[in-house]
Amino acid sequence: MCRHIAYLGRPRTLASLVLEPPSSLLVQSYAPRRQRHGTVNADGWGVGWWGPDRAEPARWRAATPLWGSASFASVAPAVASSCILAAVRSATVGMPIDESAAAPFTDGRWLLSHNGRVDRAVLPPAPGAESVCDSAQLAAVVFARGVDALGDVVVQVGTADPAARLNLLATDGTRLLATTWGDTLSVLELDEGTVLASEPYDDDPRWTDVPDRHLVTVTPDGTALEALQ
């Protein structure tokens, strides 16, 4: 099970979201506090964000541990964005460990990350997938269907594979969409913006936990939860 995080709001640096908090995604890559499956997330990482006046996101991924990237640590404090999605990976047994299998996956304006696992046999063919990794195949299925159908896809795939864990996180730079299906997700609503994360990156009492089997939508107008069934 990997860890992921996304932010929408007034511009903040990649470092302030991913590296600096006391239990940041960086710390979660070697010492997650709430992870139930796997102990470290050392099989790769990825960060996607929107630059000024850019319709499509920039993306930086690697197949090595986040804690080993001195280059990202150097650049991250110097890059600010109003929308950021990042993930660290603990590969599911049998899945390839290379950059193309690390989230976020992308399609045009969209970024998508998956915490969990799914039996690829229940997924429809996904010719556009970036990797044979289950998460990349699932991302391609979501992109092909349209990300607005994220909740429907999760319910259908979760019904077809009852052992699936399907915590997804997606953004097009204007809103965040997330599902809980078998793993944790927390929300932090700040004056400057909203954070969704697999687990809180600090002990701020404003973090709230999203119940399992829900769809979360974050827009500049607020955060909405909807039960998935």
> Would you count residue 28 as binding ligand GLN (CB under 6 A)?
no
CA pair distance 91, 186, nearest whole angstrom: 22
Closest approach of Cβ 213 to ligand GLN, in Å?
17
Within positions 134 to 173, which residues make up the interface with ligand GLN, using CB under 6 A? 134-135
Q: Determine the distance from the C-alpha atom of residue 30 to the mean position of all C-alpha atoms in its chain, rounded to a whole number.
A: 17
Q: How many CA atoms lie within 13 A of 218 on its CB side?
A: 26
Closest approach of Cβ 32 to ligand GLN, in Å?
11
Identify residue 13 by its one-letter amino acid code: T
User: What angle separates helix 134-145 from helix 150-160, to the nearest 10 degrees?
Assistant: 130
CA pair distance 140, 159, nearest whole angstrom: 19
Q: Indicate which single residue of 24, 69, 81, 92 sits in contact with ligand GLN (rule: CB under 6 A).
A: 92
Looking at the Cβ atoms of 133 and 195, the one nearer to ligand GLN is 133
Q: Indicate which single residue of 106, 115, 171, 180 sits in contact with ligand GLN (rule: CB under 6 A).
A: 115
> Would you count residue 89 as binding ligand GLN (CB under 6 A)?
yes
List the catalytic residue out of 1, 2, 126, 197. 2
2 is catalytic: yes
Q: Is the peptide bond before 57 cis (omega within 30 degrees of 0)?
A: no
Name the β-bridge partners of 117.
Answer: 165
Looking at the Cβ atoms of 91 and 129, the one nearer to ligand GLN is 91
Q: Which stretch binds ligand GLN (CB under 6 A): 22-30, 89-97, 189-197, 213-221?
A: 89-97
Q: Which residues of 130-139 are buried (b: 16+ CB within 10 A; e: fewer)?
A: bbebbbbbbb
Binding pattern to ligand GLN, positions 95-114, x when CB under 6 A? x-----x------------x
Q: Which stretch binds ligand GLN (CB under 6 A): 12-20, 64-72, 91-99, 198-206?
A: 91-99
Closest approach of Cβ 46 to ligand GLN, in Å?
11
CA pair distance 213, 229, nearest whole angstrom: 8
Burial zone of 73 (CB within 10 Å; 0-12 exposed, 13-18 middle, 19+ buried): middle
> Would you count residue 61 as binding ligand GLN (CB under 6 A)?
no
CA pair distance 108, 57, nearest whole angstrom: 8
Residues at the site binding ligand GLN, with contacts judged by CB under 6 A: 1-2, 38, 89-92, 95, 101, 114-117, 133-135
Which sequence positions are flagged as catalytic?
A: 2
